[in-house]
């Protein structure tokens, strides 16, 4: 049985394939389904060159982060929790409060839970860029036009 092993150069970067850039419009997409697809792209599992112990994934740009949807009653019932490890330092916010204040956090935390909790997973998360809709309509939706990202359609 032969297996494929991705090659890396001296810097630890993949040498026998290219890392692409994808842009995903999050308008009216369900958070969990979006996160599962993006985690697959970040890890590189959509490519035939996938190697579990190397960073073979692509870059992902998510635009219009505040327009994602939750199914059911998750917008009111889901809670995001932070704890400072000091007495009385626990903060609990509902999903609607987090979406109003920082919608990028909702998508980032969903994707973060779907990649490995290892140094490789943290490196793969650096290839994720999330942006809200710009306030000025003349501004571009993201600052990565130089990379010529391809549009990735989700159903």
Is residue 45 assigned to a domain?
yes
pLDDT the model gives residue 2: 63
Residues 29-40 pLDDT 10s: 999 999 999 999
pLDDT digits (tens, 9 = 90+) for 93-129: 999 999 999 999 999 999 999 999 999 999 999 999 9
Q: Does residue 46 sit within a domain? A: yes
Question: Looking at the domain assignment, is residue 13 inside a domain?
Answer: no
Burial of 61 (0-12, 13-18, 19+ CB in 10 A): buried
What is the value of pTM for the model shown?
A: 0.89
Is 25 within the bounds of a domain? Answer: yes
CATH of the domain at 63: 3.90.1180.10
- 116 assigned to some structural domain: yes
Number of domains in the chain: 1
Is 125 part of any domain? yes
Domain extent at residue 115: 21-69+103-151
| Residue 87 covered by a domain | no
Find, among 62, 46, 58, the residue nearest to 14 by Cα. 58
């Amino acid at each position: 049985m032969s297996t494929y092993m991705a090659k890396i150069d001296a810097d630890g970067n993949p040498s026998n394939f290219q890392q692409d850039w994808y842009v995903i419009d999050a308008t009216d997409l369900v958070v969990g389904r979006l996160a599962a697809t993006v985690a697959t792209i970040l890890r590189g599992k959509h490519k035939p060159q996938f190697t579990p112990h190397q960073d073979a994934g692509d870059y992902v740009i998510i635009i219009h982060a505040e327009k994602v949807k939750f199914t059911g009653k998750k917008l009111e019932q889901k809670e995001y929790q932070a704890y400072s490890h000091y007495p009385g330092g626990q903060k609990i916010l509902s999903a609607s409060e987090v979406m109003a204040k920082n919608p990028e956090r909702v998508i980032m935390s969903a994707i973060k839970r779907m990649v490995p909790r290892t140094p490789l997973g943290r490196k793969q998360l650096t290839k994720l860029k999330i942006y809200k809709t710009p306030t000025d309509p003349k501004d571009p939706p993201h600052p990565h036009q130089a990379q010529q990202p391809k549009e990735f359609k989700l159903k």
